[in-house]
C-alpha cells in the first residue's frame, strides 16, 4: 500500500511540473520537484530501492526523471568479431524485465563473426541498421574509424548534440579526463561532421579511481630474496636488478620438480620485457624524449634507446634472460612461472598469480610466491607510476542510424543503464536473489555464488547471464564509475582480490598527465602516412632489436641498433628529419602539450 500511495503522489507531482497546462510558476515547479525528491529520500529510508514508475515518467534512485515508454523493443549490434554471449531469452530474463518495468524499454543484442570493418561497410551499403550500434572507434584515419567517419559525414548517423543534456549519465562521457582533448577535437568532433556529434565514447573511466591499475612490474620468487638476504624494495635501478639476477643465477635454485631454473622470463613474444628496462625511461605519455636543450626527438633515436637495448643484450649474452621469451606463447610462460622455473617474471602481477593458480604452486610451495621488487624508478630517480594521458584517446563507441524512430527510447535506456540503479541491476541482478548490500551500502554478490566462483565453478557465470546479469553493461558503459560507487570494478573483485596485488598497486599508482597528447598532434604532419609506413608500422624496429640481442659482441649489438637509427633518418630521402622539425614546431606552438 505504501508503494502504491507513493506512486500516486509522484504521479501528481511530476504531471504538474512537466505539463505546461498546469500554469505553475518556476518557483512552484521547483517546489514540486523538491517535494518529489523529499518523498524519494523518504522511500529510500524505508528500504525501497527506487521510486515507483507512475504515469508517463519514472524517477530513478538518483533523482533522474525518465520518460516511460510503452514496451519498446530495440536491437543493438555488438560489432566485435567473435560473437556476443547473452541470455537465451533476452526479453523475459529477470534483469530485462526489471528494466522494462521501470522505463518500458528492452534491448536485444546481436553479435558478428566477421571483420568489424567489413560488417560496417555492409551495413552502411545496405542501409539495414539496428537501433543502436557498438563498434571500435580508435580515432585516426584507418579501419573502423574511417568507415564511421565517412558515414557521419554523409549524414547516415543520428546527430545527438542537442539531446545529450537531457541524459546526464551520457553527457559526462564527453568530459575531458574521461576522454582526451585530442580525441574530442580530432575524432568525436571530427571536422567532417560539420559541428554535429554522432558518437558516444564508451568503456571510459569516470574518475582516476576507476582507471584500471594493471600492476605492471618485475616479480621474483620470494625464496630467492630470503636465500640471498636481499630486501626486494631496495632494487631501484637496472644495475641493482642485474646484480640480483647474477646472484640468483650463481646460487643454483631449482623449480618444484627439481629442475634447473631460468633466471628471468616474460610472457607472449616478449610481453613485459620493457619492465626490465624501465629505469632508462622518462615519465611521459608520448613516444618522444625531451633532450637537455629542451628539444624533442623520437625515442628510438636517443642514446638511452641504444643503452636500454644493450642491457637486454647483456642479459641474453650472460644467460640471465630466457632466450625463448621473444617467441614463446602465454601457455609456455604459464608453465615456466607456474612451476617456479623462472626466478624472475615481468608482466602484470595478476597475470603472474594466474599462472601459479593453474599449477597450485602456492598451495604446495608457499615459499615460492612471486613478490614485487622495487618498484624501480624512472631515469631521474622518481618513483614509477602507471602513466595515463588525461582521458582515453580512442574508444569503443555507440551510435545510431540517421532514420532512427526510437532515438529517445535508445538514449533513455542507455542513460538508465549508466545510472547507479541501472549498473546494480545489470551487474548484480535483483536484491535478495543474487546480491545483498554490505555494511557500507555497496552491492555484493551472494556468498554462495562467490564461493562457487572462487572454486572455479564455470556454471555460475552462465546462470547469472541467463538471469540477464553481466552481458548488458559491458557494451553500454560510458564514464564508468563502478569502482567509485561499489568498491570493485567487476563483480566479485573486492572479495576475490589478492591482497598482495592490491598492496602493490598502491606502490605503483595511476597518474594522469594533463595536456594535449603529443602523439595525437604529430599525425597532422602532411606526409605522416609516409613516415608512419616505415617508422611506426610493421615489425622493422622489433627485428633490428632482436637481432641485436643475439649479436656475438656488444660492439656488434650496438652497431645493429645504430643501423636502425640510420635507417630511420635516411629512409624516403631523409624525410624523418623534416618530420622531427614539425614535431618540435607543433609541440611548442600548440600550448599545453603532454609530452
Last residue of a domain, one of 484, 506, 528: 506
Question: So what's the pLDDT on residue 4?
Answer: 28
* Same domain (yes/no): 88, 39: no
* Same domain (yes/no): 358, 375: yes
* Same domain (yes/no): 371, 458: no
Residue 511 lies in a domain: no
Peptide bond into 375 cis (omega under 30): yes
pLDDT tens readout for residues 89-98: 999 999 999 9
Residue-level length of the chain:
595
Residue 88 lies in a domain: yes
Q: pTM, whole model, 2 decimals?
A: 0.76
Three cell numbers, residue 364: 604446495
Question: So what's the pLDDT on residue 55?
Answer: 59
185 DSSP assignment: I
Residue 66 lies in a domain: no
Question: So what's the pLDDT on residue 20?
Answer: 36
The C-alpha atoms of residue 504 and residue 374 are separated, in whole angstroms, by 10
CA dihedral 463, 468, 470, 472 (to 10 degrees): 150
pLDDT tens readout for residues 320-363: 999 999 999 999 999 999 999 999 999 999 999 999 999 999 99
**230-to-337, 342, 357 alpha-carbon distances in Å:** 21, 18, 26
* Same domain (yes/no): 118, 197: yes
Domain with residue 296: its CATH number is 3.40.190.10
* Same domain (yes/no): 382, 397: no
The C-alpha atoms of residue 29 and residue 35 are separated, in whole angstroms, by 10
* Same domain (yes/no): 224, 252: yes
* Same domain (yes/no): 367, 255: yes
The domain of 361 spans 216-386+499-506
Residues of the chain with pLDDT under 50: 1-54
Three cell numbers, residue 99: 528494466
* Same domain (yes/no): 248, 375: yes
Radius of gyration of the CA atoms of the chain, in A: 28
| Number of independent structural domains in the chain | 4
Amino acid at each position: 500500500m505504501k508503494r502504491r500511495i507513493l506512486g500516486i503522489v509522484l504521479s501528481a507531482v511530476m504531471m504538474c511540473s512537466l505539463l505546461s497546462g498546469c500554469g505553475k510558476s518556476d518557483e512552484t515547479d521547483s517546489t514540486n520537484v523538491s517535494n518529489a525528491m523529499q518523498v524519494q529520500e523518504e522511500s529510500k529510508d524505508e528500504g525501497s530501492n527506487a521510486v515507483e514508475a507512475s504515469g508517463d515518467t519514472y524517477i530513478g534512485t538518483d533523482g533522474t526523471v525518465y520518460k516511460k515508454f510503452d514496451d519498446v523493443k530495440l536491437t543493438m549490434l555488438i560489432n566485435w568479431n567473435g560473437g556476443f554471449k547473452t541470455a537465451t531469452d533476452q526479453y523475459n530474463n529477470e534483469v530485462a524485465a526489471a528494466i522494462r518495468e521501470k522505463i518500458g524499454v528492452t534491448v536485444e543484442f546481436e553479435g558478428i563473426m566477421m571483420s568489424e570493418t567489413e560488417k560496417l561497410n555492409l551495413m552502411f551499403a545496405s542501409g539495414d541498421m539496428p537501433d543502436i550500434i557498438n563498434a571500435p572507434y580508435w580515432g585516426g584515419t584507418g579501419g573502423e574509424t574511417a568507415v564511421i567517419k565517412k558515414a557521419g559525414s554523409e549524414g547516415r548517423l543520428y546527430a545527438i548534440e542537442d539531446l545529450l543534456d537531457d541524459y546526464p549519465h551520457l553527457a559526462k562521457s564527453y568530459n575531458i579526463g574521461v576522454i582526451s582533448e585530442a580525441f574530442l577535437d580530432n575524432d568525436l568532433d571530427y571536422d567532417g561532421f560539420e559541428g554535429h556529434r554522432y558518437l558516444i565514447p564508451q568503456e571510459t573511466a569516470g574518475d582516476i579511481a576507476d582507471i584500471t591499475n594493471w600492476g605492471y612490474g618485475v616479480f621474483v620468487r620470494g625464496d630467492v630474496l630470503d636465500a640471498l638476504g636481499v630486501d626486494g624494495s631496495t632494487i631501484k635501478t637496472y644495475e641493482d636488478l642485474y646484480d640480483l639476477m647474477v646472484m640468483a643465477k650463481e646460487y643454483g635454485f631449482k623449480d618444484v620438480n627439481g629442475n634447473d631454473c631460468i633466471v628471468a622470463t616474460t610472457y607472449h613474444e616478449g610481453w613485459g620485457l620493457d619492465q626490465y628496462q624501465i629505469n632508462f625511461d622518462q615519465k611521459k605519455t608520448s613516444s618522444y624524449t625531451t633532450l637537455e636543450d629542451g628539444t624533442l626527438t623520437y625515442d628510438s633515436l636517443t642514446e638511452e634507446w641504444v643503452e636500454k637495448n644493450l642491457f637486454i643484450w647483456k642479459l641474453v649474452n650472460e644467460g640471465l634472460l630466457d632466450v625463448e621469451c621473444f617467441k614463446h606463447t602465454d601457455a609456455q610462460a604459464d608453465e615456466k612461472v607456474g612451476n617456479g622455473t623462472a626466478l624472475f617474471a615481468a608482466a602484470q602481477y595478476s597475470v603472474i598469480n594466474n599462472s601459479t593458480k593453474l599449477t597450485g604452486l602456492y598451495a604446495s610451495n608457499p615459499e615460492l610466491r612471486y613478490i614485487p621488487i622495487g618498484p624501480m624508478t624512472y631515469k631521474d630517480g622518481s618513483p614509477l607510476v602507471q602513466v595515463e594521458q588525461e582521458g582515453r584517446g580512442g574508444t569503443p563507441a555507440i551510435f545510431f542510424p540517421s532514420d532512427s524512430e526510437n532515438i529517445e527510447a535508445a538514449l533513455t535506456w542507455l542513460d538508465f543503464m549508466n545510472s547507479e540503479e541501472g549498473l546494480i541491476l545489470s551487474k548484480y541482478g535483483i536484491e535478495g536473489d543474487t546480491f545483498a548490500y554490505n555494511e557500507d551500502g555497496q552491492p555484493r554478490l551472494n556468498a554462495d555464488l562467490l564461493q562457487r566462483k572462487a572454486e572455479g565453478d564455470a556454471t555460475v557465470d552462465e546462470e547469472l547471464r541467463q538471469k540477464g546479469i553481466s552481458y548488458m553493461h559491458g557494451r553500454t558503459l560510458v564514464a564508468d564509475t563502478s569502482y567509485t560507487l561499489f568498491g570493485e570494478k567487476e563483480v566479485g573483485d573486492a572479495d576475490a582480490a589478492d591482497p598482495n596485488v592490491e598492496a602493490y598497486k598502491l606502490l605503483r599508482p595511476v597518474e594522469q598527465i594533463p595536456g594535449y597528447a603529443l602523439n595525437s598532434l604529430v599525425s597532422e604532419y602532411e606526409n605522416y602516412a609516409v613516415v608512419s609506413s616505415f617508422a611506426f608500422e610493421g615489425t622493422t624496429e622489433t627485428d633490428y632489436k632482436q637481432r641485436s640481442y643475439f649479436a656475438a659482441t656488444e660492439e656488434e649489438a650496438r652497431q645493429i641498433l645504430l643501423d636502425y637509427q640510420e635507417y630511420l633518418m635516411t629512409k624516403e630521402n631523409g624525410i624523418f628529419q623534416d618530420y622531427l622539425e614539425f614535431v618540435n614546431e607543433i609541440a611548442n606552438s600548440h600550448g599545453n602539450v603532454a609530452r
